[in-house]
């Protein structure tokens, strides 16, 4: 459990790690490369370790030195991803495109749903079929192989019913080694899609239009090794911006790419908190005296990101006035509402819409996290609440945030991990080294 003593002001600068949602798909993308691949700025996350286990199970050699991964997929031992690993990490489904492109066959268990929704993969499957793959789903596993006497997938024109990040990434990776040209229309435009495209281009892939709604890939016979550095995590950055706003603290974040956070920065401005660019890749959060209510509708990029919805809901519980949040991307991503209400928030849910009536104060309480971003929202609420908040369900948090409590402690927050509710945890002192020394000299 995480125990948080609320209402501590934050100050200083926090380092933002590499993007989780780039790292996971780029690790799968390394399967396209028959040589050594170096991937830098990889965050230390449970999900990243699990993806590493999936690659190792496929016969790929993978070593980690600090935040750098050395991957060699020159020999992929087998085309079946193990169920027990896939069931723990949905993103492992990303291996299906590269396996099909490299080996002509892939057997990947269906990732299944998670707390936030059913998470279907029909757009991935239909796109691969359009590229000449025979795809059958039997006993919970997707069996795909290239039809007829073709050795390689065939370029195709594919229209995505919705701008799915995962489907765009699966099909883009598969198309890099296909015969001919593939056009993906209504493609996702998220920065992590662009990061994957840049990684593939660094290996020699021919990709145009990543970051727009139409991506064109001209297949090449083979890719080559590269040394690539992942973009900073915009969702981690957004989470820390909210941490500054909700505690009315000025804090700096680096590295950050501001244009990856346009919608988030615009919403903070509407609420009354400012994000100032201090250097090319460093921003500063300047809170408002009082924060205003606002309405939020989650949309595909460049719209407001669904991955920041829970964090903003925590912030809006303390804004003056009523806010409305519509979650349009996932069908079950409002599960943090019940836990925030336990902390004194006043939120009602109707379908996928949450109505938040601002309250003057949240009060610390024992709460349970249900999914990754809900966990982050509860941490943020705990930082602002009067008294102590204890959060169970930290396995969700560890999947997506590298050392969150260490980074928050570095900013002056008072929180620590305890084994159980009853465990006494001395309130962590965040005394500065000077006072620590003077105390020591007195004793
Ligand atoms: C990626 O998930 C991210 N995960 C999610 O981040 C993020 O919330 C999501 O994109 C949206 O930005 C990774 O990159 C590992 P989608 P993904 O395919 O690819 C429907 C986090 O917290 N859909 O864009 O699964 C789907 O049901 C995670 O870091 C289909 O209908 O998202 C959803 O309603 C959570 N059929 C919508 O599209 C398909 O074949 C968007 O999903 C695929 C998706």
Domains of the chain and CATH, by start:
2-17+232-442 (3.65.10.10), 20-229 (3.65.10.10)
Give residue 184's region: left, alpha or beta (phi > 0; psi -120 to 50).
beta
When pLDDT is cut at 50, 70 and 90, the band that residue 438 belongs to is very low
Give the separation between CA 236 and CA 191, rounded to whole angstroms.
14
Whole-number Å distance between alpha carbons of 7 and 266: 25
d(CA 71, CA 63): 7
Residue 435 pLDDT grade (very low, low, confident, very high; cuts 50, 70, 90): very low
Q: Which atom of ligand 1 is nearest to the CA of 94?
A: 15
Q: Is any atom of ligand 1 closer than 6 Å to the C-beta of 400? A: yes
Type and span of the H or E element at 397: helix 394-400
If one compares 423 and 435, the residue with the highest pLDDT of the two is: 423
CA distance 338 to 349: 9
Give the tens place of pLDDT for each residue, 202-245. Answer: 999 999 999 999 999 999 999 999 999 999 999 999 999 999 99
394 Cβ contact list (under 8 Å, min separation 6):
1, 2, 369, 375, 417
Question: Which atom of ligand 1 approaches the CA of 371 most closely?
Answer: 22
Pocket flag, ligand 1, residue 373 (CB < 6 Å): yes
Question: Which residues carry out catalysis?
Answer: 114
CB 380 within 8 A of CB 314: yes
- State the residue for tokens 């992590």: 192
Distance from the CA of 290 to the center of ligand 1, in angstroms? Answer: 34
Nearest alpha-carbon partner for 296 in 238, 343, 255, 254: 238
C-alpha 164 to ligand 1 mean position (Å): 6
- Which range among 99-113, 123-137, 323-337 shows the weakest confidence by mean pLDDT? 99-113
How many angstroms separate the alpha carbon of residue 329 from the centre of ligand 1?
8
The best mutation among 329, 377, 402 to test binding of ligand 1, ranked by most ligand atoms within 8 Å of the C-beta, falls on 329
CB 6 within 8 A of CB 245: no
pLDDT digit string, tens, across residues 289-310? 999 999 999 999 999 999 999 9
pLDDT band at 434 (very low <50, low <70, confident <90, very high): very low
pLDDT at 409 exceeding the cut of 50: yes
Using the predicted structure, report yes or no on whether residue 313 has a pLDDT greater than 60.
Answer: yes
Based on its alpha-carbon atoms, the radius of gyration of the chain, rounded to whole angstroms, reads 23
Percent of the chain with pLDDT over 70: 95
The answer to which of 73-87, 109-123, 127-141 has the lowest mean pLDDT is: 109-123
For the stretch 25-44, pLDDT in tens is: 999 999 999 999 999 999 99
Mean pLDDT of the chain: 94
Say which residues have a Cβ less than 8 Å from residue 402's Cβ, sequence separation at least 6.
Answer: 17, 43, 44, 45, 236
**Sign of the torsion angle spanned by Cα atoms 433, 435, 438, 439:** negative
pLDDT of residue 3: 97
Task: Report the relative pairing of strands 181-185 and 251-254 from DSSP bridges.
Answer: unpaired
Distance separating alpha carbons of residues 131 and 219, to the nearest angstrom: 12
**Distance of CA 300 from the midpoint of ligand 1 (Å):** 10
SS3 content of the chain, % helix, strand, coil (to 5): 35, 25, 40
Q: Residues, the chain, total?
A: 443
Verify whether ligand 1 is closer than 6 Å to residue 170 (CB atom).
no
Question: Does the Cβ of 230 fall within 6 Å of ligand 1?
Answer: no
Element containing residue 417 per DSSP (H, E): strand 414-417
Q: Which one is predicted more confidently, 32 or 441?
A: 32
Task: Assess whether the C-beta atom of 54 lies below 6 angstroms from ligand 1.
Answer: no
Beta bridge partners of 286: 274
At residue 148, the pLDDT reads 85
């Amino acid at each position: 459990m995480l125990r948080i003593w609320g209402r501590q002001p934050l100050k200083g600068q926090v380092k933002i790690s590499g993007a989780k949602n780039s790292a996971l798909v780029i690790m799968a993308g390394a399967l396209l490369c028959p040589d050594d691949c170096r991937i830098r700025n990889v965050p230390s996350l449970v999900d990243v370790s699990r993806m590493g286990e999936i690659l190792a199970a496929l016969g790929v050699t993978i070593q980690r030195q600090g935040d750098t991964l050395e991957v060699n997929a020159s020999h992929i031992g087998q085309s079946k991803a193990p169920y027990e690993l896939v069931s723990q990490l949905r993103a492992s489904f990303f291996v299906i495109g590269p396996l099909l492109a490299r080996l002509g066959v892939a057997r990947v268990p269906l990732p299944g749903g998670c707390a936030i929704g059913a998470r279907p993969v029909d757009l991935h499957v239909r796109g691969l079929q359009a590229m000449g793959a025979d795809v059958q789903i039997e006993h919970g596993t997707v069996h795909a192989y290239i039809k007829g006497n073709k050795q390689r997938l065939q370029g195709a024109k594919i229209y995505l019913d919705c701008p799915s990040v995962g489907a765009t990434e699966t099909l883009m990776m598969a198309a890099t080694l296909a015969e001919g040209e593939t056009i993906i229309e209504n493609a996702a435009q998220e920065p992590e899609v662009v990061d994957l495209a840049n990684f593939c281009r660094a290996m020699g892939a021919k990709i145009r239009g990543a970051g727009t709604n139409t991506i064109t890939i001209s297949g090449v016979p083979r890719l080559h090794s590269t040394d690539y550095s992942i973009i900073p995590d915009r969702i981690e950055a957004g989470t820390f911006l909210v941490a500054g706003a909700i505690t009315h603290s000025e804090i700096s974040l680096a590295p950050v790419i501001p244009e990856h956070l346009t919608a988030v920065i615009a919403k903070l401005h509407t609420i009354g908190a400012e994000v100032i660019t201090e250097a090319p890749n460093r921003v500063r959060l300047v809170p408002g005296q009082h924060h205003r209510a606002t309405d939020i509708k989650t949309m595909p990029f460049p719209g407001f990101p669904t991955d920041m919805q829970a964090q903003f809901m925590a912030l809006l519980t303390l804004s003056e006035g009523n806010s409305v949040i519509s979650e349009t991307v996932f069908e079950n991503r409002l599960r943090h509402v019940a836990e925030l209400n336990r902390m004194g928030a006043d939120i009602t849910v109707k379908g996928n819409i949450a109505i938040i009536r601002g309250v003057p104060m949240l009060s610390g309480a024992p709460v349970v996290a249900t999914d990754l971003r809900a966990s982050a929202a509860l941490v943020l609420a705990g930082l602002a609440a009067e008294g102590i908040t204890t959060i169970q369900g930290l396995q969700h948090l560890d999947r997506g945030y590298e050392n969150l409590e260490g980074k928050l402690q570095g900013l002056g927050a008072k929180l620590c991990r305890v084994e159980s509710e009853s465990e006494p945890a001395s309130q962590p002192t965040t005394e500065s080294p000077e006072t620590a020394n003077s105390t020591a000299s007195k004793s």
